[in-house]
Structure 1
Amino acid sequence: MKAIFSVISLSLLFLLSACSVANQVRDGKTAYEAKQYKVAVGLLQKEFNKAKTRLEKGKIAYMLGLSLKATNQSEQAIDWFQKAYDNQAGTDALKEMAQALKMAGRYADAKEAYKNLGIEIGSPYEYRKEIAACDVAEGWKKIKTPEYSVEPATFNSKYADYAPVFFKDQLVITSDRATATGDKKVYAWTGNDFSDLFAVNTQTGDASNFSAAINTMANEGTATFNANFTEVFFTRCTGTKKEDQFCKIMHSVFDGTSWIAPEPLSFQQAGINYGQPCLSADGKTLYYSALHPDGWGGHDIWMSERVGSEWTEPKLLPRTINTLGDELFPSLDNDTLYFSSDTHPGMGGLDIFKTYRLKNGDWAPAFNLKPPINSMGDDFGFLVDYQSKRDSGVTSMGYFTSSRSEGQGNDDIYTFERRYVPPPPPPPVAERPKEEPKAKLILDGFVLEKIFQDANNPNSKVLGRKPLPESKVDIKIGNKTETITVDAEGHFRLELSENLDYNFLASHPGYLNNSAKFSTKGIAKDPKNPEQIFEIEIVLDKIYLDKEIRLENIYYDLDKWDIRADAQPTLDKLAETLKLNPKVRIQLSSHTDCRGTDVYNESLSQKRAQSAVDYLISKGIEAQRLEARGYGEGVPEATCACARCSEDEHQLNRRTAFRVVE
């Protein structure tokens, strides 16, 4: 199950990513763009056979591979990504093929594809982690685990079933099976219905709609309950037919007769996806995953504590847990926190990891559960079972979700048992050193620059990153600052102290300064691992003097020029860049499409550009460093005849940009 951000499964997409409502489509490209992947597969296969040029075949094959991946058909996707690459679809197709090979357990082929990808974009650095992960996974795949037995749960359906939790003597699962509430038109992403919460009798396998108050026409799922089952927290993704859907954590209370109308938790912000809540046994701490701009990267695990009836400002869990990638589906077993990650070393897709909180409040390093719990597919939603009767010799048992190939649905729930198996005789003990090595926390930093498809065009596609040698890095620790120069690989190494915040400012002549931060707060040293190694990456943007650089996600309402809430994060980031580069002056420019009169368009674009400038001034940027310029329709990016411009071309011309003028 893979999402837009590269490693999330279909089920996760239901409850973490933006979704689109099914529309009637007549061709594969339209179906694909509408995220109607089940529909797209059939249409694109026919269109590929009719395509007359290699370029056209490459585009179709690439969309087909992505559609198959989105519907958990990785093996079939590999062939189509190969066809796409062979037909000039470029490095995107090769990258997708490498990931699909990894998820199929074809690690040697995946390593070769990643190596070729690094050579093609001109940066072996970009895929070094993926190659190393394939080496690790190859070793884990050979592990023998006689103590474990893993079986598909008897209540799985041919649909997606996932994220089990206990509710009294039943399980509550998330599923998009045919009896789900929601739009009765088929959900075109999968060909199935919308997702809902279902109560499952584990003895009979019978599943019923959990509650009409909880399940609606939207997508619901991934629930958690308090200890006496009078509260439920769950994810709901909703939006209008013309908008993307955002997911929120909802809360409902059982009043003795029924569940009351759910309400979203108050700490959630607009335009951000929240999901997969997990409540501690005492009901005081809520863990969840969110794609938040203040996170470490991708989706991260956060926590909030309940004080009375209010929830505290959420806290980001430390880098022992969160990475630059995606961390998802937290669950608890007493003091042990389980979660899934696509970036900690793993088998292919999402792997399940565990950690626990130490007496001093720090979190232990994440430990991969390895096979047979983890597989080449996506594995998540781990649940320990203390309710079922155990045979003698069973030390632990429970459930988890997996998209592994032997399942019957898109995602299936599996049961596991772990029995006591006497360990083999220990090997001869080597003479121990007089003193155990002292555990260390090590930070590897990299200063990088972007690789553009057109080296002279900062608006062209970014193919990857490569090291930027001889960059300077100012490291601030408390009131002390030291400056170092990175090596030929753009690398520097730092031994970290405990319970400190580190701030980094990287610079290079001809590039914009950029910053990064790292904190050892909450990170525990591991005596079993003498060196815990973490990474940060600082990407510097080359200064293209007097060249326009498009600002993404800057939109305005019709005939208006005020800065919308969804445009603020982009301008906030620009403001931060200007603060880090106090000598830089920029021009903020706004453009319209060709519709409307010249005078109207020039006036509107000038007001929009001035609004952007005013917003930056409100964020502390000096007015003399900013210039507003409205170009109207005079400098189009798409040079089509106005009457023949597509809506995409009109959107391309309706843009806000900046250029460095000094």
Structure 2
Amino acid sequence: MILRNKLTILVLLICTNTLLAQENKVEKANKDFENYSFSPAIDIFKKVADEGYKSVELYQRMADANYFKGDLTLALPWYEKLYNSDKNMAPEYYFRYAHALKASGDIVEARKVMEEFVRTKPTDNRSLILISNQNYLNKIEKNSNRYTISLLRENTTESDYGVAFYKDKVVFASARDTGVVSRSIHKWDNEPFTDLYIASLKVDGQFTVTKKFSKAINTKFHESTPAFSPDGRTVYFTRNNYIGNKRKRDVEGLTRLKIYRATLNNDNEWGEIFEMPFNSDAYSCAHPTLNSRGDKMYFASDMPGTIGASDIFEVAIRHDGSVGIPKNLGREINTEGRETFPFISENNILYFSSDGLPGLGGLDVFAAKIDSDSTFSFVENVGRPINSPMDDFNYIININSKLGYFSSNRIGGKGGDDIYTLQELAPLSTVETTAIVIIVKDIDSDQVIANAVVSLKDLENIEIKSSSTDTDGSAKFKEIPLKQYFAKVNKEGYGTNEKIVNAFAKEQIVYLEKDVYKASLGEDLGRILKLSPILFDTNKWDIRGDAGFEIAKVIAAMTVHPKLKIAIRSHTDNRGSSELNMNLSEKRAQSTMTFMVSKGIAQERLTAKGYGETEPIRPCAEGTCTDEELQKNRRSEFIIVE
């Protein structure tokens, strides 16, 4: 990973102490794989992990918790552990593992894992997109060959990137004479530094007369990606959290990125440097761009509310210099991956880079037309030669001359990141419409469900169309723009389900699950936490390793909820005498309680009782049950009593 990656990812290493600030993401993660009724899953499983327990489920939960926070680099080792431990890994984990690998730069292995995802879950929306590669590749091919590009001669062996237009010149970022070679380092305070440079332009777009931009703006830390107001007297730029000769860090000791503003004084010197009010020491904001009127800024951030590793936000810039509240552009633009380096052309097209949308590899450049109501008419991959198997980003263009620039770390450059000129030869293709079919099924029986109401909404949650399913369980939608939607499905007796659907996958299934009642007194905590049964070996009552892991989850839940009281109920199979089984189950119940007390749970919050063979899960006449069925009867349960 090179310099540009460090400035693009916008901090994946989010401290668990900031977890409550990321509560929406954690809740989304929990909703995707389980609906916990207690404290967010991350709190419980973090406590379990700290105790040193190991299991497939622990790897799943820790990986998912970090994945849905957007900490893909933190998720990767847990997915690796899961991949190496579980040969029957659920399809969803192949998909998430592939994304984590892609974020780490291991594109080849990511593609292999994604193929396993398609193989194991061929009807999933994402699989349908990948299976329909012919159409997807044709779309990219249709948009390809609309540019000529050329490697900028001004590039150095260091990183050069982040070009912005400034009057009749350009300003860009470079590490050329900072004395630090671009390198892959995981700590923010050890990154290579860049400064801003200004250059005049030749007719062909090549740079000339290059010099440092401003002594007042350049510091010993990072400066990059400037954006200028229409009158050229205000500049917004990215810098490390450093101002007034003071460097600030977050609770992890990391120096984040912030957006700063400077103004040009009467002596044509840049001064009055202030940080934007939406910045924070706890997250990064970077890569600003302004619309043609200068009244709206777009930027990338991993602030709370971000969908993926980094999202694109917009914020109003008022005439008096004050700013509004940043707004996430939503799922029409942002994904669970990285969206970054936005640019707004004068004809109101948003160009940005993403590794979450289908592309040619790494970060690809995409274009989205911003309509008058701030929605997006289309999101298109701009195609080759702008995009490549490597990272391509920081696209800008002058709509009059059709001349612009982009940055890439592709093979054939001079350094890590290099600047390329571009000349647009033809505009993007127009938006298309299509028809899709949503099929609704019962998740347990796989039977189709008639008379279910399907609402098709855009990614801002505005309803586009609504329909009811026919006797074959299908709801049909015609002449809709070719993009992503939410399909929200309701049916009496079932829980509501909402799923992102892609209009270029013609037929998609949404599953409904029957309503389940909420937890109450007498409920088994194991059902609420979806525990695996607490199992015991034959004629034994000591706590096995897998049992210890399950009990640790109950302990974590009781630690989070100090008023919770539990009745431990232990059971045996029917082998042996009833008297011996009752005695054995009592020992198992007491052993479980002793274990929990040893881990810090007050004994007055627990009761323990053995039930012998009197309440089997699987009633077994002598010799009629398998060893596996018998083991299911040898269990402990945790009943809520208060």
TM-score of Structure 1 vs Structure 2, range by shorter chain: 0.5 to 0.7
Take 1:299 and 1:467, find their aligned partners in 2: how far apart are those partners?
39
Compared with structure 1, are the counterparts of its residues 288 and 186 closer, same or farther at alpha carbon in structure 2 (3 Å cutoff)? closer
Map 1:241-280 to 2 at 5 A: 242-257=252-267, 258-268=269-279, 271-280=282-291
* 2:525 is the counterpart of 1:546: yes
Q: Which residue of 2 aligns with 1:28?
A: none
Q: Name which of 216, 222, 231 aligns with 1:213.
A: 216
Q: Which amino acid aligns with 1:250?
A: Y
Q: Which has the higher contact order (CA 8 A, sep 6+)?
A: 2
Q: Which residue of 2 aligns with 1:79?
A: none
Residues 99, 337 of structure 2: 8 Å contact kept: no
Residues 143, 382 of structure 2: 8 Å contact kept: no
Q: Name which of 322, 328, 340 aligns with 2:340.
A: 328
SS in 1 for 2:237: strand
Q: Which residue of 2 aligns with 1:164?
A: 163
Map 1:603-618 to 2 at 5 A: none
Compared with structure 1, are the counterparts of its residues 212 and 299 closer, same or farther at alpha carbon in structure 2 (3 Å cutoff)? same
* 2:414 is the counterpart of 1:408: yes
Task: State the percentage of identical aligned residues.
Answer: 22
Take 2:94 and 2:504, find their aligned partners in 1: how far apart are those partners?
37
SS in 2 for 1:115: helix
Take 1:631 and 1:200, find their aligned partners in 2: how far apart are those partners?
70
Paired residue total: 452
SS in 1 for 2:114: helix
Q: Which residue of 1 aligns with 2:368?
A: 355
Q: Which residue of 2 aligns with 1:553?
A: none
Map 1:511-590 to 2 at 5 A: 545-547=524-526
Compared with structure 1, are the counterparts of its residues 289 and 86 closer, same or farther at alpha carbon in structure 2 (3 Å cutoff)? closer
Q: Which residue of 1 aligns with 2:55?
A: none
Map 1:306-317 to 2 at 5 A: 306-309=317-320, 310-317=322-329
Compared with structure 1, are the counterparts of its residues 85 and 447 closer, same or farther at alpha carbon in structure 2 (3 Å cutoff)? same
Q: Name which of 364, 373, 388 aligns with 2:386.
A: 373
Compared with structure 1, are the counterparts of its residues 119 and 369 closer, same or farther at alpha carbon in structure 2 (3 Å cutoff)? closer
Q: Which amino acid aligns with 1:188?
A: I
Q: Which residue of 2 aligns with 1:291?
A: 302
SS in 2 for 1:193: coil
SS in 2 for 1:364: strand
* 2:351 is the counterpart of 1:338: yes
1:164 to partner: Cα distance: 0.7
SS in 2 for 1:366: strand
1:96 to partner: Cα distance: 4.7
Q: Which amino acid aligns with 1:300?
A: D
Q: Which amino acid aligns with 1:228?
A: D
SS in 2 for 1:262: strand
Q: Which residue of 1 aligns with 2:230?
A: 227
* 2:249 is the counterpart of 1:240: yes
1:128 to partner: Cα distance: 0.8
Residues 436, 503 of structure 2: 8 Å contact kept: no
Q: Which residue of 2 aligns with 1:382?
A: 395
Runs of at least 5 residues in structure 2 that lack an aligned partner in the other structure: 14-79, 242-247, 531-551, 564-595, 602-637
TM-score scaled by length of structure 1: 0.52
Deviations 1:217-273 (A, max 9, x none): 443322111123211112234343842343332222222343335323224466443
Take 1:232 and 1:342, find their aligned partners in 2: how far apart are those partners?
28
Residues 440, 469 of structure 2: 8 Å contact kept: no
TM-score scaled by length of structure 2: 0.53
Take 1:386 and 1:276, find their aligned partners in 2: how far apart are those partners?
21
Compared with structure 1, are the counterparts of its residues 159 and 446 closer, same or farther at alpha carbon in structure 2 (3 Å cutoff)? farther
Take 2:478 and 2:341, find their aligned partners in 1: how far apart are those partners?
32
1:417 to partner: Cα distance: 2.2
Q: Which amino acid aligns with 2:600?
A: G
Deviations 1:497-541 (A, max 9, x none): 99xx989477999x9x6875999xxxxxxxxx9989899999999
Residues 315, 323 of structure 2: 8 Å contact kept: yes
1:384 to partner: Cα distance: 1.4
Look at both structures and tell me which one has the larger radius of gyration over its CA atoms.
2
SS in 1 for 2:357: coil
Residues 104, 377 of structure 1: 8 Å contact kept: no
SS in 2 for 1:307: coil
Take 1:318 and 1:269, find their aligned partners in 2: how far apart are those partners?
21
Q: Which amino acid aligns with 1:287?
A: Y
1:152 to partner: Cα distance: 1.0
Q: Which amino acid aligns with 2:10?
A: S
Deviations 1:627-661 (A, max 9, x none): xxx989527xxxxxxxxxxxxxxxxxxxxxxx995
Q: Which amino acid aligns with 1:115?
A: E
Residues 346, 399 of structure 2: 8 Å contact kept: no
Runs of at least 5 residues in structure 1 that lack an aligned partner in the other structure: 2-8, 21-82, 388-394, 422-436, 450-465, 520-528, 551-586, 593-601, 611-629, 636-658
Compared with structure 1, are the counterparts of its residues 89 and 159 closer, same or farther at alpha carbon in structure 2 (3 Å cutoff)? farther
Deviations 1:380-429 (A, max 9, x none): 21111479xxxxxxx622111122222232221111224589xxxxxxxx
1:153 to partner: Cα distance: 0.9
Q: Which amino acid aligns with 1:11?
A: R
Q: Which residue of 1 aligns with 2:403?
A: 397
Take 1:137 and 1:333, find their aligned partners in 2: how far apart are those partners?
25
1:158 to partner: Cα distance: 1.9
* 2:314 is the counterpart of 1:303: yes
* 2:185 is the counterpart of 1:188: yes
